[in-house]
Structures are given as C-alpha cells and as structure tokens.
Chains A and B, each alone.
Chain A
C-alpha cells in the first residue's frame, strides 16, 4: 500500500469503476500464479465487484465470487502494482466487510469469529495461559504485566500458543533481558490484535479487541509497544489510531526496536559464517514500509553474507500465510509458500530469516516439504544466535 493510494481511496463502488483492467496486478498476485484463472486475479475480482456493487447489484453475489475473495492473502502486491493507484488491499477488506454485512461470508470466517469472541485468541486455549511459552525462561514471572515499564512486548497469538513459534518470543525476551531493557508483556490481558476479524470482514467485532488492548496499554501506562508479529504490528500501527487518539504510544516492530538497540551498542553480535536471505513479511514491508531495519540487523552481524531473493522489498512475494487464506484454502496457501521456497533455493542461502511468526511457519513447512537444506529463523533468533 503506497501512501498515495491510501490517501486516494474513495469508496468501493468508485474504486471498482476506476480499475482499468490493465492486469498489472495480475502479474504480481501470488494467488493468480497458483490458481491461474482470471477470476482469481485482482482485476477479475474487481470486475465482478464492479458488476455487483458499482452497477447497483445487477449481478448476484455468488459462492464462487465469495470463494475467490477469500482466496487472497491481503499481501498488497496488487496495490503496489496498480496503474490507477487503487489501494486494492483496502478494497479487498471493504469487500469482505460488505460480504459479511450481507451474511454471505465463508463458514470458516464464522468459525474464526466465534472462536475469537469466546477465547480472545485464535486457538482454543485459555487466554489466561498466554505466558505459557515463558516457562522456559529463567524468571518467567518477570513477564507478568507490570505498569510503567519502558516497553511492552505484544506477543501475538501465534507466538503465545503455537509451540513451534515459541522460540520467537523466547528469543525476544532473552535479547531484551540481555540488553537490560525494562520491559513487560500484557500477559493474559493481551487479546488477539483483531487482525483475523478485520480480514474476515467483521470489522465491528475487531474494534472491541482493539479497544480492549488499547485500554490495557493505557491502564499499564505504557508508551512504547513492540510487536514481533507483522500483522499485530500493522493493526497497532494502522488500525488503532482512533482508539489511541490523544494517547502517546510509540509502536515499533521488534526489528525496528532491536536495530535501535544494536545501534546504541546495547547488543553485541559475534561472527556467524552463514549465507542469509530475508523474506519481507507483507504486513511489515509492503503494507507498512519497513524494509531497512531487518536488513540493517542482518548486515550488522559480522561474517554473514546477505543475499536478496528474486522478489524483495516492495516486490516481495507473499509466504501464503496472510489474509486468513489458510482457513479457507490451505492448499493454495501452501502452493504460494512453495513458490517462495523456490526463490529461497535459488539464492543458495543457508538461512532464511523473516520477521513474522506466520511467515516462519509457512516457510518452515514449505522448506521441509521441498527438502531444502535451509534453516528458517525469525530475525530475533538470528540475533540471539549471533549474541552467542
């Protein structure tokens, strides 16, 4: 999403008419690359949206259309390419909201919502157990919510509850401890950031999650929040403005914060003899504009040879894990991850680093299935390794 297209966005009806059907977006869309039909290409979906919404519902909303709308990772590659500067990511979200308002959303979205409303996190675990992962730390109780801390680490559901992802918060916590940062977490008071609800079209429901988290941050008198999940970060940075109005909160992705600590000399990095490539998470890179901090960190580790993949920065290819795609079509999500695995393979890297637990999960599975001799790591894990 460019700043320009974000500003220009008018209404779904108008933007759908503005689309010139040039197809630039199609070339960039990972879902189109995997599915291959025009109906899966951004311009195809917009063309149908135009018939349905801009031309005053002359066409019905079919299940096929709803399916295609849900087969989208919200990666924003289409918005980046759009020749008429349509913020298509916003348009997809608008469309999902319209569909949900009409009660025509996929069943999988209902399941996401019901679960979130019941559990406040994307799993069926008790939300009070959010700090379960921290039991591996020397002093886990230190992470219990504490008012007035300098920094609050917003852990995110995947890191908190998925054992495979637990290494990420552990690494972040260890680094922050080593760097003597006065930090805390929201513990069981942290709720899902709301992204899965926004991505399912249940924007109103997402607001109560955002409000809850913001209220807690205010209550804990936190003024710097860091998130290691790119989507949580995106919600805090871009969707929480209203709830945060009048309150001063610096929102940073962990990569930004850790790059700062490295610059300030608070983290010492030893030599690592590895070839490393970096996967830009869509919500951190293209959709939030953060490309430099992760690369600065990698390049500040002595001995590392850094190589870019074929698609990087704004043109980066999605991992397949965004936009709730896995919940509606795990096969398409996995095929997209395999496209990315091919690009990783072509770099000859020994380590692929990302900065989002969802990306790390997707890429880990794809790399294992493709039997590549490549280690998948979050940037925080790489830093920890370099700290020895």
Chain B
C-alpha cells in the first residue's frame, strides 16, 4: 500500500490508526492457528494499516480512500470466526469495527432495536433484558460476536429454531458500499437485504441494523440421554413436531460426552449414548406444555432418560462454553457442517468409522437450528507446536466435510479456508448470481478479497482436493496416534 496514503491515514485517525508491525501482526490471525509457513505461502495476511473508525462517516471516508486507490479492505469485528474470514489475504486496510458500538434506539411498539454493528450480542442482550426484552436469537459466541458480524455470517444459532435466521429478524441495515456511499438497505431496496447476509464483508461495511426483539420470558431447560444417534434423531423429530416449538435444541455424541467427562465438564457425569438439550421460552402455559411434552417422551419410551433439571440448567448456563473441549488439546481442528438432520445418524456413524480408520477420536456436537437442519461441529485434538504433523492433520478437516457432503451437508461459513468447497455450498446458478452481485457492488474487488466467491489460485478446488487427499493418505499410513 502506498506509503503516503498510510501516512495520511495515520495523521487523520491519530491513535485510532497504526502501522506498527507489533500491532498489525495481531490482525493477521483469527481463531484458527494456521502455521505461518502455510498461510504466508498462500496469502498476505499482514495488513498495511489497521484503523478503528468510530462512526459511519469515518467508515465512508476510509472506503472512499480505498476505492480511489484500489486498496483491499478487510472488515473485522469480534474476529470470532475461524476461516480467516476477517484476516486479510492481500494486506491493505484492516478496518476494526469495534468502536462502532451502542444502542441507537428502541421501538417498543414495533418491537425492534436499532443497534450499531460492532455491539456484541451479550451487550445487546444485557441492554434489552433491562427493558424486559431479549434478542430473538444469538450465536453461541455471544460474548464476543457482534451483531454485524453474525449478520455477515450465516446467522443461525441459539433461538433460530423458534425465531428463524437472523435475516428473517432484521428489518433494515445501514451499509457503507465499496465506493464509500452510505445506503439504507431493506428487503424492498436494490440491492436487497438478503444480498448482505452471509456476505462476509465482501459487499460493504454494515454500520447499523434494525433487529426484531422479543419479550423476555421465563425458560425451562431439559436434558435427555439417548442410547444412540438413531434414537436421538427420533426424539428430536418428536420434539420438533410437538405443538410447542423449542427455543433451542443442541446435542452431543458419545465421543463428545466422553471427552467432556474426562475433562470433568460433563453434565451429570455421563459418557454413554448421546444427549439432547432442549430449551423452551415463552408463557407459563407454553412452558407447562413443554414440560408435558418432555415428560411424555420418557413415559412412552424407556430408552429416553431424562437428566435431572439442575444439570439441564447448568448446561444452559454453559451455552457459550463449547470451546471448553479445547482443554484436552492443546489444539483442536474440526469442521462445521450444515447438515440435514435426517442424515445425522449416518453422518455420525461414518465419522466414527473415519475415527477408527485414522486412529483418532472425533467428537461431534451441534445445534438443531431449523426443523430440518443442524449445524454440526466435528472436532479432534491436534498439536500446533508439531508443525508438520499439524499441517498433515489439517487434511482431515476436508475428510469430515466429505462425510457431511455425503449426507447432503456443506460447510457452514466460507471465509478463505472453505472457499475451495464453494461449489458444494452453492449450486452453479446460485453461485453465478452471487458472483454477479459481487461484480455489481464491488467491481474493483477491494472488499475482503479472497473470500467466499472463489478460492485463491493455490487453493483452487482441484489443487485443494489433491493436496488434502495426499496428506490424508500420509496421515492414514503414518499418523496413527498423532
């Protein structure tokens, strides 16, 4: 990036801009500990400058500079994503959106809140709870994830089962387009709201969102132990089809329970079968019905084992702590699959076959987020200090995705690392449409380049597939017990 432009930005934004190597280096990473040797071979992760705008006008001014000078811009908020979604691939400007935070207004009659994009879900929840309200849904990374960040990702998580995706709850957004113009976007405008959902910062920078809220109500939590994945699916279906819709439903397989137990974190100290956690919210009448639904399951089928209420409540309290598993690591690798729940038992079976084949433990857990789909996380332990073994282990991530694909699933979220699998996520016409939108909105390709639409050259689907399969082969032969 041109030195003069960097200098001008440093002068303009003062202590909210930096080109210090020390500071910038921390924006060249996210949750995924990808060995620098690998990342640097493929992309330029180190931004030339990091800037922290504090309002929409500043975002627009930065975008105008970037647009005029063809400088790549990477938006970054909570940086709680794992596919280098908010890590640069072509250096340039890293726009840190965490100062764009706070509540703009609450419309209690219309039951919406207007909130700045860099506000975290926990902050919004706290604000709303004080008014007797709550967000309809939120990601299970709410303490770090921002409203804008989740909208730019897939927007499914806790509460989606009852209230749908985040897209269905957002009325309008304020967005700064790549040329620096500011636009209010709703489902009626052109471009429309749905262009921006899952756009991962590739179409513009969202600065404000109007989101539907719900009344804060009481909750009831249940945990059920099932002997196997098939019984788990049957039970899930019965619960989904019952007259009261759960607010949240999540599950863990036996390997996950075992790992949690070994770490001392298992709810009710279980390590046999699978568990489903079901959380309801609503009127007292709804909660009463919910209790009856769950009670009747256990009465009708002796294989359904209800776990005491305190454990179910504890499980809910720990809803943001999925990463606890990492204590058994030190590192964790894995794949998150958007999977039709009907394929869940077969998926889990194949995952265990894979585990045996490679001589490793694979743990799966996830959230049922619509009546038909779940987000399933399958992970395994690795050790990032052993660089070569670790890189070889990375190949197993694709193998997990392959199993997901076999049962109608695809990667949940794209970023950089899932971009070779973009053809699995979208059908060709859909992908064509997305690329057209990108071209229309960002013809210069400056918004978060290298993400979502197509993989960078070295990661093109053919190279990626070949490379990963070779590494997986090496892993299978030499890597037992890594």
Contacts and interface: CB of A to CB of B under 8 A. Distances in A.
A24 B320 contact: yes
Most interface-central of A56, A65, A83, A85 (chain B CB within 10 A)? A83
A373 to B, nearest CB: 24
Interface string A11-27: 00010011011111011
Nearest to B329: A18
Contacts of B27: 38
B190 to A, nearest CB: 35
B241 to A, nearest CB: 34
A56 B383 CA distance: 14
A56 to B, nearest CB: 8
B18 A37 contact: yes
B26 A39 contact: yes
Contacts of B79: 21, 23, 38
Contacts of B96: 36, 38
Given A17-B329, A27-B120, A62 B324 contact: no
B141 A38 contact: no
Nearest to B332: A20
Taking chain B's interface residues, is the majority helix, strand, or loop, or is none over half, making it mixed?
loop
Main secondary structure of the interface of A (DSSP, over half): helix
B80 interface: yes
Contacts of B326: 18, 20, 84
Nearest to A63: B22
B331 A23 contact: no
Contacts of A38: 23, 26-27, 79, 96
B320 A39 contact: no
A62 B326 CA distance: 28
Given A18-B330, A22-B80, A38-B23, A27 B143 contact: yes
B52 interface: yes
A54 interface: yes
Interface in B426-468: none
Interface residues of A, number: 30
Interface residues of B, number: 39
Contacts of A54: 330, 385
Interface in A12-71: 14, 17-18, 20-24, 26-28, 36-39, 44, 47-48, 54-56, 62, 64-65
B34 to A, nearest CB: 12
A360 interface: no
Contacts of B228: none
Interface in B131-171: 141, 143-144
Nearest to B50: A37
B98 interface: yes
A23 B327 contact: no
Contacts of B332: 20
Contact of A85 (B123, B324, B329): B324
A272 B23 CA distance: 51
B385 A17 contact: yes
A22 B52 contact: no
A310 B122 CA distance: 13
Contacts of B122: 27
Contacts of A21: 29-31, 33, 79
B38 interface: no
Given A14-B330, A23-B143, 14 more contacts: A8-B327, A17-B384, A18-B326, A18-B330, A21-B30, A22-B144, A26-B144, A36-B99, A37-B18, A48-B26, A62-B22, A65-B22, A83-B321, A85-B321
Interface of B: 16, 18, 20, 22-23, 26-27, 29-31, 33, 50, 52, 78-80, 96, 98-99, 120, 122-123, 126, 141, 143-144, 320-324, 326-327, 329-332, 384-385
6 contacts: A18-B326, A20-B332, A23-B78, A23-B143, A27-B143, A84-B323
